[in-house]
Amino acid sequence: MSDGPRIAVVGATGAVGTVMLECLRERADAISPGEIVPFATERSAGRILDGRLVVRALNDDADISGFDLALFSAGAGTSREWARRFVEAGATVIDNSSAFRRDPAVPLVVSEVNPHALKQHRGLIANPNCSTMQLMVALAPIHRAVGIERMIVATYQSVSGTGHAAVQELDAQARADLAGDERPAPTIYPDQIAFNVIGAAGNFVDGDDHTDEERKMMFETRKILEDESIGVAVTCVRVPVRTSHSEAVNIQTREPLSAAQAQELLAEAPGVILEDVPSPLRAAGRDEVFVGRIRGDESHPRALSMFVVADNLRKGAATNAVQIAELLLRGDLGDRVVAKGGPPAGVTEPELPVADRDTAVPASR
Ligand code: NAP
Ligand code: 2RA
């Protein structure tokens, strides 16, 4: 065992957690973990991950002391119950759930976009939602150069965004349809997902006519770009793709920017790869954000359209969390990995089911 950081991975058996362990393995040169300890529910206790890591149950008997970092992806409820306890026990928590993103005392960080926000952390750092994450990597360079006044986004979100169980639901429905068998009833989504498109990704909360997934993009964009004046219109849609979210994006800039100039900016942007027509299959397993179809919008002199695709489990979640860990460990952004001061401020988002999954029965339509 090296004397590198001790890292807890909470939700290690899930869709994000599995990729989190992969990223930690792949980026071992930068992180050099002393020990990685996977946590999940009692159901998974004793499972072996990565051929050597024994899953521990996260319960009141769990020993959560002695961690430098804790990477959480076990749903907002688990984060609310446990993140602060890990901070109090000495860890810096990087949380993938929606639990703390709206808290003004908690930095919401995309590693290429606003790493400076890490300086403010008091032990708890929030990872943005996957659909916002990839959008920010693509749009921040343009916002910095000419300002973005307004954006209109339609997402095409893959089922792994809803977690392991949703991937199983897509596969089971597709297999049954192709075999001509009786299709299993939907349990994760409000409608069949195989060979279909569901025009509302996320939950309708408290009679809102936008889903929580859409609200996340509206709020998180302004927080990350530190600009409350940006208009964000978004429709989040679930499509029968296993991995990678796609986004059709239209932006209205403050200063004029041609498609060729946008292309030049993005060719230099960290974490971006330009492609003619990006696709979810090609983006799957990659850490970069793929941007293509950059073109002028003929209906407005200062508007551009583009298509943005990234792996929701990697850059949309695990990769960014591990990149934040690297920034903290490198030490050029904060003076230490462990918590600064007391526990973080309160929680502001409503309680949602595990993994913030889309409701099988929508709260309202
Ligand atoms: P998932 O596949 O359903 O996995 C959930 C994980 O959390 C499993 O490891 C599960 O353990 C564990 N877990 C659930 N309740 C727990 C508890 N009380 N104590 C300890 N562990 C618990 O979900 P996911 O897609 O990985 O998402 C996890 C989180 O990441 C969610 O907050 C989600 O919003 C966020 N996120 C997901 C994505 C994405 O693309 N999927 C992207 C960004 C952020 P068991 O296996 O033992 O049940
Ligand atoms: C999704 N909220 O619905 C998830 C990803 N974080 O795709």
Give the pLDDT score at 331: 81
SS3 of 116, please? helix
Q: Rounded CA gap, 230 and 215, in Å?
A: 14
Residue 168 in contact with residue 213, Cβ under 8 Å? no
Closest CA to 152 of 228, 248, 220, 221: 248
Q: DSSP states of 8-58 as a string?
A: EEETTTSHHHHHHHHHHHHTHHHH--SEEEEEE-GGGTT-EETTTEEPEE-
Secondary-structure class of domain 132-312 per CATH: alpha beta
Q: Rounded CA gap, 261 and 274, in Å?
A: 13
Q: Is 161 in the pocket of ligand 2 (CB under 6 A)?
A: yes
Q: Is 15 in the pocket of ligand 1 (CB under 6 A)?
A: yes
Residue 226 in contact with residue 144, Cβ under 8 Å? no
Distance 129 CA to ligand 2 centre (A): 7
Residue ranges of the chain that CATH labels 3.40.50.720 = 6-127+315-351
Residue 236 is a catalytic residue: no
Residue 10 in contact with residue 73, Cβ under 8 Å? yes
Residue 272 in contact with residue 135, Cβ under 8 Å? no
Q: Is 129 in the pocket of ligand 2 (CB under 6 A)?
A: yes
Give the pLDDT score at 358: 53
pTM, two decimals, is: 0.92
Closest CA to 87 of 361, 320, 339, 353: 339
Give the pLDDT score at 334: 42
**Residue showing tokens 């909360």:** 205
Could you tell which of 18, 71, 73, 101 is best to mutate to test the pocket of ligand 1, judged by most ligand atoms within 8 Å of the CB?
Answer: 73
Alpha-carbon distances, residue 34 vs 62, 328, 338 (angstroms): 19, 16, 15
Distance 364 CA to ligand 1 centre (A): 25
The encoded tokens of residue 173 equal: 């429905």
Residue 85 in contact with residue 72, Cβ under 8 Å? no
Q: Is 164 in the pocket of ligand 1 (CB under 6 A)?
A: yes
Distance 356 CA to ligand 2 centre (A): 7
Residue 245 is a catalytic residue: yes
Give the pLDDT score at 333: 52
Strand (E) positions, the chain? 6-10, 35-40, 48-49, 53-54, 56-57, 69-72, 92-95, 124-126, 148-157, 231-238, 245-253, 272-274, 289-296, 303-310
Strand partners, 237: 156
Residue 69 in contact with residue 313, Cβ under 8 Å? no
Q: Rounded CA gap, 327 and 305, in Å?
A: 32
Mean pLDDT by 10 residues, the chain (365 residues): 89 97 95 96 97 97 98 98 98 98 98 97 98 98 98 98 97 98 95 98 97 98 98 98 98 98 98 98 98 98 98 98 96 48 36 46 29
In the CATH scheme, what is the homologous superfamily, with its name and number, of domain 6-127+315-351? NAD(P)-binding Rossmann-like Domain (3.40.50.720)
Q: Rounded CA gap, 295 and 288, in Å?
A: 21
Alpha-carbon distances, residue 212 vs 155, 216, 218, 280, 351 (angstroms): 13, 6, 10, 23, 11
Sheet with 231-238, strands from edge to edge, namely: 231-238, 148-157, 245-253, 303-310, 289-296, 272-274
Residue ranges of the chain that CATH labels 3.30.360.10 = 132-312
Give the pLDDT score at 357: 53
Residue 275 in contact with residue 290, Cβ under 8 Å? yes
Distance 70 CA to ligand 1 centre (A): 14
